[in-house]
Amino acid sequence: MRGMSGAAHKTYRSALIKALGTIDLEALAPTMRRFVNDGLSSFNRSTAEPRKHFDNYRRWSDALSTISSGMLIQLVFGAAQGSDLFDQLMDGYKELGPNGVVWNIGARQLAAYARLRGRLDEGMPRGDIPNLFSAISEEGPVDDTMLGNLIYMVETGRYDLRGLFRWIAKYGAEHPDWMRQIATADCGHRKVLAEAFVLEVLRLDQSERLMRDVLQDFAFDGFLIPKGALLRLCMWESHKDATTFGEPFVFDPGRFLNGKSYGEKFSPFGLDQHRCPLADVSIWLASTFIAELACNFDVSASGGEPAVRGPYHWEPSPDFQIALAPGKIDD
Ligand code: HEM
């Protein structure tokens, strides 16, 4: 969908947004919490024996990928954790993009895509679990373009979320005061604090730039931007603008509390007709992740500096090591 334009883009985007609006996310909340807790507990069990640095990094990445992929397979296709459909789709996605987001589609991706597509064609669950595929089907048949968008949306989305979860855990380990506040808040306030935490992580990391092909000459601030240029909109830099965000390199989720918003000056999900349709869903899933992490684990970490360029986003460097100790934080 990111690569579509004109009337076709509008049609498919509108159908997606309309379907999203019908999904009762609260009905999915317990399932999403379970994905987080199962993933974190399983990572924790696997850290029982001492291992090498890179091993910790790889196992942490895998655990976060399992969480984010599971969340999206459930949300988009309605496949319940533990069902055959869920396991087959998870295997298909591991085949499609085993090491992160897919950029170059080769023979392996074509085969994995055909396998995913074939499994979805066999029929989808009829049940009461809200999901995007069913919600879109209510309005009419899901055609090839929409199905392709849904399949690849899960692929890129799970990678975006995995990256965000990794930054969230790093900031969580560095800011136990915020973790304690989130863990000890009542349910309503916890949601507010967790969302502010997620937005502050997105301000500091993960959201970097938007790219645009310039289709016609235009002038901006006295400069000619010529047709044919590739334009980079620097979000990471504008999110550090001290005139908007005081002390811009200080981690302070408080700047997003009390209804404070920054309009177009804060744009981690993009700005225009391509703005991320799952922005609110992503904030909700990431808030679920930080809330479960804060409530059920003590988090400590080392390394991770300086950040390195991953296939798409900057990431903590591979010497980043994380340890989780189970147990609720006491006040
Ligand atoms: C960390 C979480 C996420 C971030 C920071 C993020 C960010 C973005 C940004 C910046 C764009 C705009 C790209 C552009 O204008 O060129 C975008 C578009 C998009 N995102 Fe996300 N995203 C996230 C998660 C997700 C997830 C979980 C999904 C779906 C499962 C998703 C689906 C999409 C789609 C379909 C578009 C294209 C919309 C269009 O072109 O009309 N995103 N996202």
pLDDT in tens, 103-118: 788 899 999 999 999 9
- Closest by alpha carbon to 30, among 90, 77, 71? 71
pLDDT tens per residue across all 331 residues of the chain: 988 999 999 999 999 999 999 999 999 999 999 999 999 999 988 776 655 555 888 899 999 999 999 999 999 999 999 999 999 999 999 999 877 667 788 899 999 999 999 999 887 777 778 999 999 998 888 999 999 999 999 999 999 999 999 999 999 999 999 999 999 999 999 999 999 999 999 999 999 999 999 999 999 999 999 999 999 999 999 999 999 999 999 999 999 998 888 999 999 999 989 999 999 999 999 999 999 999 999 999 999 999 999 888 899 999 999 999 987 654 4
Q: Which long-range contacts (CB under 8 A, 24 or more apart) does 40-45 make?
A: 40/67, 40/292, 40/293, 40/296, 40/297, 40/324, 41/326, 42/66, 43/324, 44/297, 44/324, 44/326
The one-character DSSP state at 275 is: S
State if residue 1 touches ligand 1 by the CB under 6 angstroms criterion: yes
CA of 299 to the centre of ligand 1 (A): 28
Q: Is the CB of 207 under 6 A from ligand 1?
A: yes
Name the DSSP letter for residue 244: T
Instruction: Give the closest residue (by CA) to ligand 1 atom 43.
Output: 276
285 lines ligand 1 (CB under 6 A): no
Residue 268 Cα to ligand 1 midpoint, Å, equals 9
Query: 18-326, which class in CATH?
Result: mainly alpha
- CA of 327 relative to ligand 1 center, distance in Å: 34
Using a cut of 0.85, tell me whether the model's pTM lies above it. Answer: yes
Dmax (CA) of the chain: 61
Question: Cα-atom radius of gyration of the chain, to the nearest Å?
Answer: 20
Residue nearest atom 11 in ligand 1 by C-alpha distance: 276
